[in-house]
Amino acid sequence: MLSLFRRKAVRPPPTFNERVDAFWKWFREVAPRFFKTIEAGHCATLSDETSAKVDEILPGFAWVFGPGAEGRGHSFTLSGEGNIHRQLLALHWLARAPALDAWTFYAARQPGEIKGHVIEMEGLRFDPKEIWVTPSIDEKDERIDITVWHPAWEQIEDRRKGTVTFLFLDEALGEYGTDWWIGRLDFGKGKLRESFPLEELAGYVAGTSTARGWKKFSPGESWTLLETKRQTQDFPRADIITQTTAVPRLFADFMDASGDLADPLAGTGADYVYVSIESGFFPKGKEVATRGRIEEAIESALKSFSGGRCIGGALGVERCYVDLLLYDGPRSLEAIRQALRAHLVPPGTMIEFFAREKRANRIAL
């Protein structure tokens, strides 16, 4: 008997690449109008329209208009607001940006001028020229510890002091700058003779880091080697001994959650996955080199269509792992599968999701 009803096909949620492409299609269309509106001094009138579109396509991200590079034209910034996972996605968003006349695009809030900016909180007024900082150089970690003092400190708790300080720091040093350059933060008036106003801190940081040759990298561009003891609990990746990662926060959170990690990329269309291969497949003493060749093959396949990137790898007692950030859903997964098959990986090799919500989507080769 033929059914009189036809099921409506369910469209899968858009991948991150699809979301990014949709954003840039929209921005191309509105860019001339937006430029004229900002030039006319009516930037504020664009707020609702822009927020609605960003919330629709790239939920969870912050945005801001600003001056263009070298003071020419205007800029649009998409910010992960200090969230490493969204910062990585913002960088991919920027990599797919079109070239538009008189527009500059940024994937993080840029440093700005705090001179003359004032913050009012709990009936108190904070001017950066009245907030004094005493720096202390941390040569080992290539950071600057600072002690911060303001006459009103005695009237508010440390949490509020931190809020005021970080608001100014993030504005002065940019989204990345505070994490890059500022180490320990204390509050007090010790060594005030060596202090200077907070509004001068950005210049001090720039001069100090340049003079000492300190270099910092954008999110995902530096690698951390971690060693750990095998976990006593039984959960995915509990056998890991060494981990190399460009996203230490992901590894730490996954281990802290005993593998039961809520999706850090929820709602973005992107995925964190890892390839799990039986350790016996890797020649003794050549585990890292062999895993490296597999990583290179997968990354090459993904880069051919901007489908993702490698973010790390790990060696465990029982299995070896390759960690990946994917931008293009099923297409990215298929590219991984083909690259693994070309390397003749053994049966039981798995493509697993870091997110517990997607664990059922795991793929067995």
Q: Residue 206 in 3-state DSSP? A: helix
Q: Does residue 80 sit in the same domain as residue 175?
A: no
Q: Are residues 97 and 62 in the same domain?
A: yes
Predicted pLDDT of residue 11: 76
The mean pLDDT value for 275-285 works out to: 94
- Amino acid letter, residue 320: C
Q: pLDDT for 131-182, tens place per residue?
A: 999 999 999 999 999 999 999 999 999 999 999 999 999 999 999 999 999 9
Q: Write the DSSP assignment of 339-357 as a string of letters.
A: HHHHTTPPTT-EEEESBGG
Residue 77's φ and ψ, nearest 5 degrees, are -115, 130
Domain membership flag for residue 48? yes
* Mean pLDDT, the chain, integer: 93
When pLDDT is cut at 50, 70 and 90, the band that residue 6 belongs to is low
Integer Rg of the chain from CA: 24
What's the burial of 341, exposed, middle or buried (CB within 10 Å: 0-12/13-18/19+)? exposed
Same domain, 123 and 91: no
Count of beta carbons in the 10 Å neighbourhood of residue 291: 21
CA distance linking residue 185 with residue 144, whole number of Å: 9
Question: What per-residue confidence (pLDDT) applies to 10?
Answer: 66
Bridge partners, 186 (sequence order): 147
pLDDT score recorded for residue 9: 60
Sheet containing 196-197: give its strands across. 182-187, 143-149, 132-138, 196-197
Average pLDDT over residues 249-259: 95
**Are residue 206 and residue 232 in the same domain, yes or no?**
no
**Residues above pLDDT 70, as percent of the chain:** 97
pLDDT surpasses 90 at 310: yes
Q: What is the average per-residue pLDDT within 249-263?
A: 95
Say if CB 199 and CB 115 are below 8 A apart.
Answer: yes
In a domain, 332, yes or no: yes
Domain limit, last residue, from 40, 73, 106: 106
* pLDDT at 284 exceeding the cut of 60: yes
Looking at residue 2, what is its pLDDT? Answer: 45
Give how far the C-alpha of residue 92 lies from the chain's centroid of Cα atoms, to the nearest Å: 10
123 and 68: one domain? Answer: no
Q: Does residue 235 sit in the same domain as residue 326?
A: yes
- 59 with 178, same domain: the answer is no
Report the alpha-carbon distance of residue 80 to residue 276 in Å, rounded: 29
Range of the domain at 157: 119-212
Chain position carrying tokens 């950066």: 128
Task: Mark whether 31 and 68 lie in a shared domain.
Answer: yes
Query: Is 42 strand, coil or helix?
Result: coil
| Three-state SS at 278 | strand
Count of domains in the chain? Answer: 3
Nearest to 143 by CA among 220, 219, 205: 205
- State phi, psi for 15 to the nearest 5 degrees: -75, 170
Last residue of a domain, one of 83, 106, 129: 106
Are 17 and 328 in contact by the 8 Å Cβ rule? The answer is yes
Phi-psi region at 222: left, alpha or beta (left = phi > 0; alpha = psi -120 to 50):
beta
* Residue 74 is assigned to a structural domain of this protein: yes
Please indicate, yes or no, if residue 46 is contained in any of the structural domains: yes
- Report the C-alpha dihedral over residues 149, 154, 155, 156, rounded to 10 degrees: 60
pLDDT at 86 over 50: yes
Do 147 and 238 fall within a single domain? no
CA distances from 157 to 132, 154, 193, 339 (A): 17, 8, 25, 55
Helix (H) or strand (E) holding 93: helix 84-95
